[in-house]
Structure 1
Amino acid sequence: MTTIATRTPRRRRDPVRHIVLAVLVVIAVLTLIPFALVAVNALKSPSDYAQRGPLRLPETVYFKGIVDFWVRVDFGEKLWNSTVISASVAVLAVLVSIVTAYALGIGRIKGRMWIIAIFLLANLMPQEALVYPLYFLAKQVDLYDTRLAVIIIFTAIQSAFGTYLLSSVLSAFPREILEAARVDGASRWQVLWRVVVPMSWPTLSVLLVFFFIWTWNEFFIPLVMLISNENQTVPVALGVLQGQRLMDATTQSASALLGILPAVVFFLIFQRTLTRGIAVGAVK
């Protein structure tokens, strides 16, 4: 009787699991359909697209549209600019976030709640309200139309969110571990880099990935701050070129494919990092 009682709930749960799995599979397929259509149309010739339409597979694989777009916009240079800016912002924003959150969450400085409220307010401000002051300041310090200006701007923007998030995480950090490290003679910097950072690495790794992807997808501020062709990022180059209406449908599909493919590859590479960090956060 005990065996039957323990097995019955499991059998009842199995249909629910199958239904949930089926729903998730359908959602995943619906999410991948636009990406698949873009990839299929990027590999069509203009004549094939005109004859067969956007929903049918190409008769032959046509790479000339991708190659022509790469050469036309010097996509390798735009890819390098986006990679340098996004990687720099991700690393610097995480470093700034952990240092400031350490002071707010563990250091318990005076006016902590007011400072956190300021960081929260900074996250709520639209970029349209920031762009003119940022443009004016960049002009004043001779950083306009440079990648460094964009790196500084987005480091401040992303670290505001990172500080707000990490300060709440570090406020619940085990005090016993901190006190044990101080008893062993560790200074505040040693406690930060040898105790707090290793134990908070799952959360920091998630922030690192998100900061990279968020910065990669930014369009408005780079559009205003980077006017030279050699400094433009991938989203800006795509937006400017599509606005000129110099591309056919297959070339536009090729541009969209090349624009989103690096972010997708980066996400797939760090997928386990994201899963591990989210799982650790859920357990905590």
Structure 2
Amino acid sequence: MRRKDADMSATTASTRPGRPGRHRDRFHRGATRWLILAVVGLVAVVMVTPFALMVMNAFKSPSDYSSGSPLALPTEIYTDGLVYFWHRVDFPIKLWNSIWTSALVAVLGTFLSLFNAYAIGVGRVRGRAWIIAVFMIANMLPQEGLIYPLFMMARRVGLTDNPWSIVIIFTVIQSAFGTYLLSSVLGTFPRALLEAAELDGASRWQILWRVVYPVVRPTMSVLMIFFFIWTWNEFFIPLVMLTSGDTQTVPIALSSLQGDRMLDVPTLNAGALVSLIPTFLFFLVFQRTLTRGVTAGAVK
């Protein structure tokens, strides 16, 4: 009887329905993972290809580029295009103009968004929905429709060909989006927490910095990074507002390489490569801050 019971238990264990299904599920999950990984890898290759072509053509000579194709490898490493771009556009000045204007817009725009959202979301001002709608409409306005009145106002106050005009304009433009985002976050802020702070004798300024600011700080860090990148990449308004070489930014420096009848493609690629390095380093430095901010905002 013991032998029969042992044989029956061994047979039941070997033919247990869960085990083959479990191995089959593992196999299917593994195949799905490899398929997703292959698709992600293909998308990554497609996204990296333009940057690889830019780097490859940045180190080609004009004769090498004209005799071959843009997809051909350079026959020699040609660095005169980098040097020519650096000296022709006076790149250090353009780089400094882009850095300090973008950084200032990022800081001022983020805190202006916080003050506006604190008044709208926590202060519960009248017509809150209409005010948020106005900020949404402001985000949709094209820059081509704004450039003439902005230029005339800058001219009247003496800010033509002045980087501070760019700082003021983009601080207001970027804060429109930041106000819309932060006001939606602060609109769901716990009222009990605010009332408890008021009962403890905290003023509105203290409530803002000791209660509200620690909660929205991750979201503000994400906004600050976005505002910096968006302002760095702006082209049309700085092109109209800044006319002299000492006040222009990096995107305008790249556009100056294109003439009416001639285009030096290797030098243009070299300039794009040099201009890409600061933003790439900025993203590497603040990548962890961006990830933490997005994750904290999602959890809250």
TM-score of the superposed pair, with normalisation by structure 1: 0.92
Deviation at 1:162, TM superposition (A): 0.3
Q: Superposed, which structure 2 residues align to 1:16-27 within 5 Å? A: 16-27=32-43
Counterparts of 2:259 and 2:202 in 1: how far apart (Å)?
57
Structure 2 counterpart of 1:204, from 212, 220, 224: 220
2:297: which partner in 1?
A: 281
In the alignment, structure 1 residue 225 sits paired with structure 2 residue 225: no
Aligned to 1:120: 136
**What does residue range 1-284 of structure 1 map to in structure 2 within 5 Å?**
4=19, 11-244=27-260, 247-284=263-300
Name the CA distance, whole Å, in 2 between partners of 1:141 and 1:88. 20
Cα offsets for 1:38-63 (capped at 9, x unmatched):
11111222333344432233343222
Shift, 1:177, TM fit: 2.9
Q: Counterpart of 1:241 in structure 2: which amino acid?
A: L
Task: Give the AA of the match of 2:73.
Answer: L
Q: Which moved more, 1:42-51 or 1:149-158?
A: 42-51
The number of residues matched between the two structures is 284
Identity of aligned residues (%): 57
| Distance verdict in 2 for CA 1:23–1:237, change over 3 Å | same
Measured in 2, the distance between the counterparts of 1:80 and 1:33 equals 29
Q: Which moved more, 1:195-204 or 1:87-96?
A: 195-204
SS at match of 2:257: helix
Q: Structure 1: how far apart are the matches of 2:281 and 2:293? A: 19
Whole-Å Cα distance in 1 between the matches of residues 211 and 297 of structure 2? 18
Partners of 2:205 and 2:242 lie apart in 1 by 37
The 1:246/1:69 distance shift into structure 2, 3 A limit, reads farther
Residues 1:11 and 1:281: Cα distance change in structure 2 (over 3 Å): farther
Long gaps (5+) in structure 2: 1-15
Between stretches 3-12 and 235-244, larger displacement belongs to 3-12
Mapped to 2, the partners of 1:199 and 1:209 lie a distance apart of: 18
Gaps of 5+ in 1: none
Q: Please report how far the alpha carbon of residue 199 of structure 1 lies from its aligned counterpart in structure 2 after TM superposition.
A: 1.5
1:229-274 Cα shifts (integer Å, max 9, x gaps): 1111111121133145565221111112123332222222222222
TM-score calculated relative to the size of structure 2: 0.88
